[in-house]
Structure 1
């Protein structure tokens, strides 16, 4: 494995540099847009989303939770953490959903990929930091890469599961009306599998949140770094504030994404 990684670095250094530059550009753009929003407007957006997706009390609760993070003086760090999470989740979804669709259509590919997914889920999360540092060095790009690899598994598995659980009668009816395979995928299978896929995205976001502190060891900015500093200084107060902010952010994101999944279930 050591020889293989060195071979990759020596022979594809320019590829990883270009990939890292594109990831950094996307991450910087997301961070810039989030930092550009006034704190009150950001809270207003979350309040409205909580109200429309869940209920009015949820929106008020989410807004109050964000005010708590702001009162700790951790608003900027929260935005940096959110930027890394959103970037990792977007990349995971862009890669994971096509792989899940391919696994649903090709059983032999599913047989080959399933042990890899099992290994990715059971591998200690610290292990992902090593190839990330070797390929991209220390910094935010390595943090996004490690977080993506760790968090991508649920969206792959649940996309595969959702499409496989689509009613065979419905697919056969689409075939009988002359639908092409692409039309069946986009107009029948994906809409029917969407609640399951949304649950997979929700789990991917939660796993990305779980990597926040670990990824700070290789340069991830935000709340995870604050926890790491608190550990090094044995500062209980700082660690509690940063940890509580991570918990609040995870709760808000989990409730909103799960609410979206429930909406799709109702419409189905």
Structure 2
């Protein structure tokens, strides 16, 4: 048994080499497009006045969640500015947002397809298990081979690592829609596409948004690891702090990651349950309009019958 060995690693290496040699033109195009989006978003955030960016983030926090969260947002981002991690934080935020958008565009259709086809779901499930259980560092190896050093392999590895919860929770939300509601749509003559858009997706939205929330959190955790691949941002700062044992830089970069994580987590969590956010600006507007919309004219009581 000493000579028994299955060369899975060699097969994978040959497959990666074949993809790189055969689809080099496609990989170059993907690298150019993804790199342009990340750079454009990062440059856009950095070109705006810092005060304006903080005001925008705080306004989103107030509109979607509460004024308390808005104040906490201002304090958090001022702290990021105070420790000198503003540029790296905006670079990390751009990477996370681009990776999250790509992952959502892939995950939601896959989740819908898995919910509507049991065979496809059975095939997809072990693939998602493999993607979710594979160590995060492993994704960087083929990503660097395909896209060289820089931000693009970080985005690609982040998308792969963050994809599974988005697919799973989208499928769970679609499957969790009451079958009687779907049957009622069929009874009224609605097509499968109309039922999906008008019934299943709206009812499954809380579960889908929970998947988006988890997806963004995993993307942020992977964005830090992507610093090993040369992606600019807080991940690169943490890697440099580890290599030089710079405790001060490590603490400041790590604290900035925590602030970004809390902000994105609370904001995306509020998107999945806007009606329950009583402290948000949208909730306050809805409550002010509710009495006007709920006014119903009181019917005049019928006269009592006259006894004979």
TM-score by length of structure 1 reads 0.97
Does structure 2 conserve the Cα–Cα contact (< 8 Å) formed by 1:195 and 1:264?
no
From 143, 152, 155, the counterpart of 2:154: 143
User: Within the alignment, does 1:58 sit opposite 2:69 as a pair?
Assistant: yes
1:230 counterpart residue number = 241
Quote the offset at 1:206 in angstroms. 0.3
* CA deviation profile, 1:209-234 (whole Å, cap 9, x unmatched): 11122100111111111111111110
Contact 1:195 1:265 in 2 (8 A): no
Unpaired stretches in structure 2, ≥5 consecutive residues: 1-11, 278-282, 284-308
2-structure distance, mates of 1:158, 1:265: 20
> Aligned partners of 2:63 and 2:276: how far apart in 1?
16
In structure 1, the residue matched to 2:133 is: 122
* Deviation at residue 264 of structure 1 after TM alignment: 5.7
Q: Please, what TM-score do these two structures have when normalized by structure 2? A: 0.84
- Equivalent pair of 1:78/1:245 in contact (CA under 8 Å): yes
Query: CA offsets, 1:138-196, max 9 Å, x none?
Result: 11111100011001111111000000001111111111111111111111111111111
Distance 1:32 1:233 in 2: 28
- The answer to whether the 8 A contact 2:224-2:236 is kept is yes
Q: Is the 8 A contact 2:234 2:257 kept in 1?
A: yes
Moved over 2 A (4+): 264-267
Q: Which of the two has greater helix per residue?
A: 1
Q: Which has the larger radius of gyration?
A: 2
Task: Report Cα offsets for 1:3-56 as digits up to 9, x if no partner.
Answer: 111111111111111111111122222222222221111111121122222211
Partner SS state of residue 121, structure 2:
helix
Which structure 1 residue ranges, 5 or more long, are not aligned? none
Aligned residue number for residue 46 of structure 1: 57
Residue 263 in structure 1 maps to residue 263 in structure 2? no
Q: Are 1:77 and 2:84 matched, yes or no?
A: no
The answer to whether structure 1 residue 201 and structure 2 residue 209 are counterparts is: no
Aligned residues: 267
